[in-house]
Structure 1
Amino acid sequence: MDDALDRQWVEDLVRATLEEDLDGGVDVTSTATIDAEQVSVGDFVARSNGVVAGLEVAALVLRLVNDEVEVEQKVADGTQVATGDVLMTVRGKTRQLLTAERTALNLLCHLSGVATQTALWVRELEGTGAAVRDTRKTMPLLRSLEKYAVRCGGGVNHRMSLSDAALIKDNHVIAAGGVAEAFALVRKAFPDVPVEVEVDTVDDAIIAVEAGADLILLDNMDVPELRAAVEKVAGRAKLEASGGLTLATARAVAETGVDYLAVGALTHSAPVLDIALDLREA
């Protein structure tokens, strides 16, 4: 985990996920079948190729179940791994390892899936000068971890919350009476907050930049429209393409000259990276 993550928040989240799994009781299967003093070694092994993220989170799960567990991380988050690679080795009481297994893997596989999905987009955009960014389309309560996983995959983050940056969308524009009017109202109320304006026409992009916007989201524009917007804005604001983007079209979009591609699928649709915990005798 990096310094951008609130470690106490992560710990509180992990405790809540463990409580969800145990529901105030015990792991009845492991308690019934495994001697309390039995010790095992476990390897977290990649079952498919991808980019790993969340190893320290998985280790935290194990430590909260048994603070005496020994953890040896074999690779760093952000590493491209291959099927069969051992990512982390742990040693501890067998019961506790198995009690923690599913929660640890749920988080690790999901975050690694986000990182892997992001890395595919980063690879597709290589050499274009454009970066792929996440959105607020994240799983409730997992936003910080998912955005961390995006960084592990080589992407960059959009705003974390509604309070740290403004994004004037179409409904705000309708309510305020226009693009320029909405921008002026936000700038007056929050003069120090970064402001991005969403537009769906080249003409509105020009209005936004002339109103003072330094970041403009070009929503659901095709490649010719994006190219026209880049030409008309002429470097006066950063431009972000959004809406309907796919890996198949990503490079063509990036080559229009936009600065960012905003991709909700990095977080809301990323398939998990298959990772397993294989136990062996200590």
Structure 2
Amino acid sequence: MLTTAQIDPVVTAALAEDAPWGDLTGEVLLPAHATAAARLTAREAGVLAGAEVFAAAFRLADPAAQVTARAADGDRFAAGDVLAEVTGPARAVLRAERVALNLVQRMSGIATATRRMVDAVEGTSARITDTRKTTPGLRALERHAVRCGGGVNHRFSLSDAVMAKDNHLAVLAQQGLDLAEALRTARTRLGHTTVLEVEVDRLDQIDAVLAGGADVVMLDNFSLEDLAAGVRRIDGRAVVEASGTVTLDTVRAIAETGVDVISSGALTHSARHLDLGLDMTVDAGA
């Protein structure tokens, strides 16, 4: 789950970006003692992600603001459902409104897209995972949203695992290095808990990759026929990952080839924001 240490810097930066010298409209138009109450309401069906991020925007704008959750991350909801309620100083609520909505809409869109893909492969052995194609600065939030939708996460960063992609292999070939031997040498430099993954784009690369001791073989942009052939050739000696132009229309057929993991950058880079609204009433007080 997300931690405060991951959430607060992102939300603080977003609030500062949106109101670097304060919210001019709220400060000149609204009485300082005015209070506001608002409901986060779904305008379409989806899966919630970012409930704590939503609440953090109001908390960081003013500790006096309070958010009551009516749904939890990972919950499915229908159009018209109330997902959270907000109360507090009107200036703070209105200052945080756009940041809170932008983040929860973004995260819920990712969670919803992920859930659709996960549901599409139900009954197969394939798991749906994301990639590093995330919005800079928002990776922790977007990958949390993938988990809320039932997916799993790929390596979080370049520091987490060895993943030799086509450009890495091109450099090895340019240097005249044997692929299997290069992978074996890399393995000697790794701790025993570190995963070694290699991307291939042709069936004839698989044997060398297996000989080099890869834990995961990524079959990139393979046809369905070649995916099935790759699964047979690997034969349980490594985890098999499929990637490349995965869509909701194609993911079921990819899963049925027998791959273990299907990675999709579209979960984060192409998911649209979900339509959620924050409707409020303002009480100017006595």
Q: TM-score, normalised by structure 2?
A: 0.94
Partner of 1:11: 8
Q: CA deviation at 1:184?
A: 2.1
Moved over 6 A (4+): none
CA distance in 1, matches of 2:238, 2:208: 12
Q: 3-state SS of the aligned residue for 2:67?
A: strand
Report % sequence identity.
Answer: 46
Match of 1:154?
150
Deviates more, 1:130-139 or 1:171-180: 171-180
Q: Tell me the amino acid that sits aligned with residue 99 of structure 2.
A: T
Task: Report the aligned-residue RMSD.
Answer: 1.2
The answer to whether the 8 Å contact 1:183/1:197 transfers is: no
Q: Which residue does the alignment assign to 1:238?
A: 239
Give, in whole Å, the separation in 2 of the partners of 1:179 and 1:30.
62
Distance in 1 between residues matched to 2:185 and 2:137, nearest whole Å:
30
How many residue pairs were aligned?
Answer: 278
Q: Find the residue that maps to 1:109 and give its secondary structure.
A: helix
Is the CA contact 1:170–1:199 (under 8 Å) kept in the aligned structure 2?
Answer: yes
Q: For 2:186 and 2:80, locate their aligned partners in 1 and report how far apart those are by CA, in whole Å.
A: 52
TM-score, structure 1 normalization: 0.95
Q: Provide the C-alpha distance between the structure 1 equivalents of 2:7 and 2:178, rounded to a whole number of angstroms.
A: 41
d(CA) in 2 for partners of 1:122 and 1:213? 26
CA-CA distance at 1:6 after TM superposition = 4.0
The residue aligned with 2:185 is 185
Matched residues in 1 for 2:59 and 2:245: separation?
Answer: 42
Q: How many angstroms does 1:12 deviate by? A: 1.4
Aligned pairs (5 A) from 1:125-274? 125-176=121-172, 177-192=177-192, 193-274=194-275
Higher mean alpha-carbon deviation, 96-105 vs 208-217, is at 208-217
Shift of 1:187: 1.0
Quote the offset at 1:174 in angstroms.
Answer: 1.9
- What displacement does 1:244 show? 1.6
- How far off its partner does 1:129 sit? 1.2
Query: What does residue 63 of structure 1 align with?
Result: 59
Amino acid at match of 2:60: L
Counterparts of 2:270 and 2:39 in 1: how far apart (Å)? 28
Note the C-alpha offset of 1:185. Answer: 3.3
Q: Give the counterpart letter for 1:94 in structure 2.
A: A
Secondary structure of the residue that 2:26 maps to in structure 1? helix
Give the Cα–Cα distance (whole angstroms) in 2 for the partners of residues 209 and 250 of structure 1. 25
Counterpart of 2:25 in structure 1 is 29
Q: C-alpha distance in 2, partners of 1:255/1:207? A: 25
Q: CA–CA distance in 2 between the matches of 1:252 and 1:9? A: 36
Write the distance in 1 (CA, Å) between the matches of 2:231 and 2:6: 40
C-alpha distance 178-264 of structure 1, shift in aligned 2 (>3 A): farther
Tell me, in whole angstroms, the C-alpha distance in 2 between the residues paired with 1:153 and 1:146: 11
Measured against aligned partners, the alpha-carbon deviations of 1:81-109 in whole angstroms (never above 9, x if no partner) come to: 11111000011111110000001111110
- Taking the TM superposition and a 5 Å limit, the aligned residue runs for 1:31-50 are 31-50=27-46
Equivalent position SS for 1:181: helix
Contact 1:168–1:182 (CA under 8 A) maintained in structure 2: no
Equivalence for 2:78: 82
The 8 Å contact of residues 34 and 282 in structure 2, kept in 1 or not, is answered as: no
How far does residue 178 in structure 1 lie from its aligned partner after superposition?
Answer: 4.4
SS where residue 250 of structure 2 aligns? helix
Q: Distance in 1 between matches of 2:24 and 2:216?
A: 54
Asked if structure 2 preserves the Cα contact closer than 8 Å seen for 1:172 and 1:182, the reply is no
